[in-house]
Amino acid sequence: MAISRFSYASMNVMDVEAAVRHYVHVVGLRETDRDADGRVYLQAADTQDHHCVILNPAKTAGVEHLGFKVSDPADLDEATAAVTAYGLPVTRVPAGAVKGQGEGVRFPLPSGQHMMLYYHADKVGYLTGMENPNPVSAHSTPGGRVTHLDHTLISAQNPGDDVKFLTEVLDFSLTEKVVDPAGNTLAAFLTCGHTMHDLAIGPGPDNHFHHMAFGMDSRTEVIHGVDLLKEKAVPALEYGITRHGIAGVTTIYFHDPSGNRNEFYNGAYLAPGAPGWVPPIVWQAEHFPRGAFYYENAVPEAFFAEVT
Amino acid sequence: MQVTLRHAGRSEVSFDCAADDTVLVAARRAGVTLHVACEQGGCGACRARVVQGTVHYPLPASSRWLDEGSGSEDYTLLCRAAPTSALIVETAHPWRLRESAPLSRILSG
């Protein structure tokens, strides 16, 4: 099994056009496609694939499914067998059901959120082009200067159940975890690629979405992003600009027009290695406030309580 | 329209809400700080149970929180709800009353 990257979040939104305005003019994505079901597809400047965010018209906010790419078409059969053997129901999804995308396999995590694994993505190319491009990112586009969709955090009543599944069945590596005095996992940070997290699990209700994070080239760009959020009066977390103790990244959180949480961030460390061969950093629960918000050393009540 | 907030263990608070203002906007004007997070009708931080009265939604609110999975319409999101009658709600989280510090007295005129 070789999942090569976290590639997109398919989000439910209550007002698609308001969401498109947000993801283009605030986050800084480009609209790449629409489909007959009213979904809108968007991609960041420095990723070649068809989409990193899908906006689904819905009556609720929250995540519809999370897309991960595998590095070989045969991985889809291997995943189907392994996930089925673990006891979770797998659905084969035909090519084109998600526009711009080949066949996929879809299944729920133990905490209920759905994952889709797939191999093929149509290419839209980098924003700067694929022939003789400028070496600098496209600062002329509206919105934040995000380079790529980086990771997502979902909530679970028992994060340890998701960790067990993701590490034992899908070959994710655990890079950091928060444990209570009894040794139970309260939060976990997992990677399938090169940086310290692609998918994180936080404490909260099952089958809910906490945030997705868009990467930026520097802390300076995050500051620019904060200015943009304030100028456009986008609701943001009271902490920001700040730094996480876990991962050490510079960060600000804000909300899309359906209340789904977004993050601008910079600076995740590299954590390459074969699955299971990079020992995780461990945080005791009493140090979690410093791990969550390094400058403030406190977690705002609503930060983990409120999810979509 | 009069809005009354209730929450277990505290005395209730009432304030006026203008037509088409959300309960959140009216509460802020009245010095009542509701527990909110996204303020976009998505996260459910401001959910409340409707004890009496009716509301409408000028902007969308996530149905996930409106019925709490019960299929009923007894719940509302105060960041998006505009009352269409006198309204009494029981909030999921406690509110705070703005402190009457010198600066806030000046700011509130």
Nearest-CA distance from B50 to chain A in Å?
Answer: 20
Q: Band of the pLDDT at B109, cuts 50, 70, 90?
A: low
pLDDT score of A40: 98
Residues of chain A positioned with their CB less than 8 A from the CB of B38: 235, 255, 259-261, 306, 308
SS3 assignment for A239-250: CCCEECCCCCCE
How do beta strands A199-203 and A146-156 pair? parallel
Residues of chain B positioned with their CB less than 8 A from the CB of A259: 37-43, 62
pLDDT score of A2: 87
Q: Band of the pLDDT at B103, cuts 50, 70, 90?
A: low
Using alpha carbons, list the distances in angstroms from residue B17 to A224, B2, B21, B37, B100.
37, 6, 6, 21, 21
Question: What is the set of domains in chain A, with CATH numbers?
Answer: 3-121 (3.10.180.10), 146-305 (3.10.180.10)
In the three-class reduction of DSSP (H, G, I as helix; E, B as strand; rest coil), residue A53 is classed as strand
Q: What digits encode the pLDDT tens for the residues A190-203?
A: 999 889 999 999 99
Q: Which of B22, B39, B62, B77 best tests the A interface by mutation, with the highest count of A CBs <10 A?
A: B62
Distance, in Å, from the CA atom of A102 to the CA atom of B29, rounded to the nearest integer, reads 52
Contact A248, A240 (CB under 8 A): no
B2-84: in CATH 3.10.20.30: yes
- Greatest Cα pair distance in chain B: 47
Does the pLDDT of residue A108 top 70, yes or no?
Answer: yes
pTM of the model: 0.89
Whole-number average pLDDT of chain A: 94
Q: What digits encode the pLDDT tens for the residues A169-228?
A: 999 999 999 999 999 999 999 999 889 999 999 999 999 999 999 999 999 999 999 999
Distance, in Å, from the CA atom of A135 to the CA atom of A132, rounded to the nearest integer, reads 9
Q: What are the boundaries of each domain within chain B?
A: 2-84
Distance, in Å, from the CA atom of A210 to the CA atom of A42, rounded to the nearest integer, reads 20
Q: Band of the pLDDT at B102, cuts 50, 70, 90?
A: low
Distance, in Å, from the CA atom of A246 to the CA atom of A248, rounded to the nearest integer, reads 5
pLDDT score of B69: 53
Q: What digits encode the pLDDT tens for the residues A62-91?
A: 999 999 999 999 999 999 999 999 999 999
Contact A67, A118 (CB under 8 A): yes
pLDDT score of A62: 96
| Pick from A61, A211, A30: nearest CA to A129 | A30
The percentage of residues in chain A with a pLDDT greater than 90, rounded to a whole number, is: 87
